[in-house]
Amino acid sequence: MELKLYNTLTRKKEVFKALDDSHVRVYACGPTVYDKIHIGNARPLVVFDVLVTMLRATYPKVTYVRNITDVDDKINARAAERGISINTLCDETIAQFRKDTNALLVNAPDKEPRATRHIAQMIAMIGQLIDKGFAYAAEGHVLFSVAKMGDYGKLSGRSLDEMIAGARVEVAPYKRDAADFVLWKPSEEGLPSWDSPWGAGRPGWHIECSAMAAEYLGKEFDIHAGGLDLIFPHHENEIAQSRCAHDTAHMARYWLHNGYVTVDGEKMSKSLGNFTTVAEALSAHRGEAIRLALLSSHYRAPFDFSEQLVKNTQIILDKLYRAAALNNAKELISEAEQLDAEFMAALSDDLNTPLALTRLQALASEANKGSREAALQLVSCAKHLNLLNDKNWFRSEDEDSLESKEIEAQIAARNAARAARDFAQADEIRDRLAARGIRLLDSPDGTSWEKS
């Protein structure tokens, strides 16, 4: 099936064509590890997880690289503020990041390179840019000369003139052009520093992605993804560095950008302080519900986060789980061609997850009416979104746990009372269980239970 993706570079939806059908290569910008991620940071992680899943279903080999930025002013500042070492801060933050992403059921990328372990590649790339005349050294800095690149600004759709007109570009005395950006800069005393031909210092923000993408994916690769706020300057500058260093027409063929998570219509951001960390959200909601909530609007549209929305999503998820449990639908329809065509068509159309979810709900409805095929499709399709995998969704305990056994005993007692038409006793048992959050579901086949 054709996969269509909206390409920021062309501002159009395009049919995805791999550069090499035997190996698709994808890069996404990962976290700067100075603090916990928030829901806004989680959106691209979840959305591009679905993208990669789709690609893996179609192509024999996919390499998905998502970097970790571990050299940054914010990291230095935070470590100093907390009185801990930069390493400790990074290790701690990365551990939390893994916890959060696991809870959101995000698959690990194939490669997760750290910036500090690729300084040599960055220095080499900066050297190439200087040799080719695209960069210059000045006062311990190395800067990229935007004027040397003919079509700088293509991704973000702005011309150099426009940017100058914006007049918000930092002007530094060592810059030839106000729009030139840093490739290498001196480090302050006591902060991380590496030797380089231009003096001790550290890399600029953008060069790490260019260097690591080239290292693991080659000079040109298929897809580069990230949040809307990275288009300019980050991705624009990555493109400049990579194309000029490698003499290529493209860095990536397709550039994908997710929309913002908003709160009451405003962008969720650290600086505005209107954020909910994933860890906080997880203390109130299940990870899978948060994941589905994030997928319940189209990835390019704004997603307004609220407690109510996640609660609502949990209700939907409960319904899907109930339907999936029908007919004991455990086996999977594995071949992509046999999967529900409408579901796959929705996902293939620029990852239309809300429409795909609608289809899941329709399948659930058919399953409830007795279609085993629909139940199997439901479980199999949900796999593409990494949903409905939790065997204990309605049970916090394993089936043979003490609590489960105790509940089963209560149910047996209630059913005995019902058989004896002692409804007062039966209702009392049910109410007692309900008070513990345990819901009984009577059916012709017997009584099952759910814990909420």
Q: Taking CB under 7 A as the criterion, which residues in 251-310 touch RNA?
A: 258-262, 265-271, 296-298, 301-304, 308-309
Q: Does 22 bind RNA (CB under 7 A)?
A: no
Which of these ranges, 113-121, 134-142, 232-240, 281-289, lies near RNA under the rule CB under 7 A?
A: 232-240
Comparing CB distances to RNA, the nearer of 153 and 287 is 153
The residue (of 235 and 253) whose beta carbon lies closer to RNA is 235
Q: Rg (Cα) of the chain, in Å, rounded?
A: 26
Q: Per rule CB under 7 A, is residue 413 in the interface with RNA? A: no
Examine residue 332 and tell whether it contacts RNA (CB under 7 A).
Answer: no
- Cβ proximity to RNA: between 82 and 439 the closer is 439
What part of residues 67-106 is at the interface with RNA (CB under 7 A)?
74
Give yes or no for residue 327 binding RNA (CB under 7 A).
no
**Which residue's CB is nearer to RNA, number 129 or number 268?**
268
Query: In angstroms, what is the minimal distance from the CB of 260 to RNA?
Result: 4
The distance of closest approach from Cβ of residue 254 to RNA in the complex, given in angstroms and rounded to an integer, is: 16
Q: Using the rule CB under 7 A, which residue among 7, 44, 129, 213 binds RNA?
A: 44
| Binding residues among 116-135 for RNA as defined by CB under 7 A | none
Long-range contacts of 91-98 (CB under 8 A, 24+ apart): 93/31, 93/33, 93/34, 93/35, 93/36, 94/33, 94/68, 96/36, 96/279, 97/31, 97/33, 97/36, 97/37
Residues 163-182 that bind RNA (CB under 7 A): 163, 165-170
Closest separation in Å from C-beta 160 to RNA: 11
Shorter beta-carbon distance to RNA: residue 18 or 227? 227
Report the amino acid identity of residue 376: L
437 near RNA, judged by CB under 7 A = no
**368: contact with RNA by CB under 7 A:** yes
420 binds RNA (CB under 7 A): no
Q: Are the beta carbons of 258 and 227 closer than 8 angstroms? A: yes
Interface with RNA by CB under 7 A: which range of 52-60, 95-103, 387-395, 433-441?
Answer: 433-441
Taking CB under 7 A as the binding criterion, the range among 92-100, 103-111, 184-192, 223-231 that sits at the site for RNA is 223-231
Residues from 143 through 162 that contact RNA (CB under 7 A): 156-158, 162
